Structure 1
Amino acid sequence: MIGIVVPAHDEEATIRACLAATRRASLHPALAGEKVETIVVLDACTDATGVVAACCDALTVTIRARNVGMARAVGAEALLARGARWLAFTDADTLVSEDWLAAQLALQTEVVCGTVSVADWSPHGGNAGLLAAHFGATYADREGHRHVHGANLGVSAAAYRRAGGFRHLACSEDVALVRALADAGCSIAWSALPRVVTSARTDARAEGGFATALLHAVAQRLAEAAGGPSGAAAVA
């Protein structure tokens, strides 16, 4: 069985589309009918995220931690207990491609670190064009990149256990896991083949995550335009 983990904190606006995308990925012909289960970890949700997830036939588990590392760890353990041989991780504001799971497994490795793309920069208003240009200039969306995103990550059950799983970190839990996997000697594919589209929202769920990096990038670009320090940093 293949397991998909989606951490969520008040994501009723996006979770339906996210789960529709994971559902399509679970039915890809290359998976040869292998069972796929998706679990949404409801972390301190105060909205209808859980109701929507249940209506989409996803498993759900509830925690009250406001900690994305713990949310991913809880979801992973639940799926491992149900027999998952492969764990795929994404986010509730992300749409995975139809061949997302198939592309991860086709790489025939223990760990897959994928890239992200953004289709809609409009949440950044008048700075949308500036940020899109920054992202295009600094983000390496190609084979051999070195980005780590919890929104596009896959790992075999054996490797996940060997590395000790996700640490209960409020941010950068994905980076810590990949570092532990590398230290454990796991084979890692840094690939742009498994595709996901994530949001450019400005209301970060995890301080220090992708949304925060985008806001910092906007601030830096504006500073440069005003004659401040140059040398734009890449979005991780």
Structure 2
Amino acid sequence: MKIGIVIPAYNEAMTIAKCLASVQSAIKQLPSTIKAYPLVVLDSCTDDTQSIVKAAGVDYLCCDYQCVGQVRDIGIRHAIANGATWLACTDADSVVTVGWLAQQIEHISHQSTDMICGVVDVDSWAHLTVQTRENYINHYQDNMGHPHIHGANLSFSSDAYLAVDGFAHLPCHEDVDLVGKFEAQGLVIIWSNRVRVMTSSRLQARAHGGFAAFLNNLEQNNLH
């Protein structure tokens, strides 16, 4: 089995090193029979993201799409072309848990599955109002069978991905669209809170309408 870990990045020099270090720690937990490698897709980067990725010894692609759906898709297809049979997605502003990949393998080994939708923890509430934190916690269902979809914590088989024609080239909600395609085809999805990622609570969104925008909307509503 070969796992491709695809990470889109747009000017993520402040966060990419921690992301890659966490991914590499997760890879070390896998048995020797499973190979895994990260691939960063640098989209229109004008900061030091590329040099940090190179220094970490991680493979990368460069593009100028400014479209996260297209960026994820090119990375996934590159990984599949290089032999990946399972794909794991996260984001450059996120940190995966040490057991992130191992838990995916455990799910796969116990149940035939085409996709795993994991959960996210928020890295810091310090710059947000108490009410925003309470609203988020009341909204978020951190359990098995949860309803949440995060591009920062989404994994699937290569065969299933190709069967549904992959990520749509959308500037946001490409993850929701992909899950919808899997559901429409009757593919097996595990909604797991055992597969976990810590994600940034920043309010300046890289993708309009993404997780940062969701937090920002909560915060703005509580400030008025």
1:158 maps to 159
Instruction: Please give the alpha-carbon distance, in whole angstroms, between the structure 2 residues aligned to 1:76 and 1:94.
Output: 18
1:121 maps to 125
C-alpha contact (below 8 Å) 1:10/1:48 kept by paired residues: yes
3-state SS in 1 of match to 2:193 = coil
1:213 maps to 214
1:102 maps to 102
Instruction: Please give the alpha-carbon distance, in whole angstroms, between the structure 2 residues aligned to 1:217 and 1:32.
Output: 44
1:174 maps to 175
Instruction: Please give the alpha-carbon distance, in whole angstroms, between the structure 2 residues aligned to 1:64 and 1:177.
Output: 22
Query: In the alignment, does 2:70 pair up with 1:70?
Result: yes
Instruction: Please give the alpha-carbon distance, in whole angstroms, between the structure 1 residues aligned to 2:16 and 2:217.
Output: 26
- Number of matched pairs: 219
Q: Which has the higher strand share?
A: 2
2:136 maps to 135
> Unaligned 5+ residue runs, structure 2?
none
Query: In the alignment, does 2:197 pair up with 1:196?
Result: yes
Instruction: Please give the alpha-carbon distance, in whole angstroms, between the structure 2 residues aligned to 1:123 and 1:209.
Output: 19
3-state SS in 2 of match to 1:40 = strand
3-state SS in 1 of match to 2:66 = coil
Structure with the greater alpha carbon radius of gyration: 1
Query: In the alignment, does 2:189 pair up with 1:185?
Result: no
Instruction: Please give the alpha-carbon distance, in whole angstroms, between the structure 2 residues aligned to 1:193 and 1:214.
Output: 23
Offset of residue 119 of structure 1: 2.6
Query: In the alignment, does 2:12 pair up with 1:24?
Result: no
Q: Percent identity?
A: 40
Offset of residue 33 of structure 1: 4.4
3-state SS in 1 of match to 2:152 = coil
1:51 maps to 51
Instruction: Write the letter of the residue equivalent to 1:85.
Output: T
Offset of residue 163 of structure 1: 1.1
3-state SS in 2 of match to 1:80 = helix
Instruction: Write the letter of the residue equivalent to 1:102.
Output: A
> Unaligned 5+ residue runs, structure 1?
224-236
CA offsets 1:14-55 (integer angstroms, 9 cap, x no match): 0000000000111114x3342111110000000010110111
1:14 maps to 15
Instruction: Write the letter of the residue equivalent to 1:77.
Output: R
TM-score of the pair, normalised by structure 2: 0.95
Instruction: Please give the alpha-carbon distance, in whole angstroms, between the structure 1 residues aligned to 2:198 and 2:33.
Output: 25
Offset of residue 157 of structure 1: 0.7
Offset of residue 122 of structure 1: 2.6
In 2 relative to 1, CA 4–113 (structure 1 residues): closer, same or farther, beyond 3 Å? same
C-alpha contact (below 8 Å) 1:162/1:184 kept by paired residues: no
3-state SS in 1 of match to 2:223 = helix
3-state SS in 1 of match to 2:119 = coil
3-state SS in 2 of match to 1:87 = strand
Offset of residue 220 of structure 1: 2.4
Instruction: Please give the alpha-carbon distance, in whole angstroms, between the structure 1 residues aligned to 2:8 and 2:81.
Output: 18
CA offsets 1:121-172 (integer angstroms, 9 cap, x no match): 2343xx2x22221111111111111100000000011111111100110000
Instruction: Please give the alpha-carbon distance, in whole angstroms, between the structure 1 residues aligned to 2:213 and 2:39.
Output: 25
TM-score of the pair, normalised by structure 1: 0.90
After superposition, the CA RMSD in angstroms is 1.1
CA offsets 1:176-231 (integer angstroms, 9 cap, x no match): 001011112210001100111001001100000000000111122334xxxxxxxx
1:234 maps to none
